[in-house]
Amino acid sequence: MKKFLAKIVYKIVSGHDADTQQFDEQLVFIDARDYHEAFFKARMLGVKNEDEVNHESGAEIHWKFIDVPFLNEISNMNDGTELYSCISEKERDDSFETFIKARAADLQNYIEKQLIPA
Confidence of residue 24 (pLDDT cuts 50, 70, 90): very high
Taking only the tens place, the pLDDT of each residue in 54-112 is: 777 777 889 999 999 999 888 766 777 666 777 888 777 778 888 888 988 988 888 88
| Best CA proximity match to 62, nearest among 16, 29, 104 | 16
Q: How large is the average pLDDT for residues 10-20?
A: 80
- Read off the amino acid at residue 80: G
User: Is the pTM for the entire model greater than 0.85?
Assistant: no
CA nearest neighbour of 54 among 18, 93, 100, 15: 15
pLDDT value of residue 17: 67
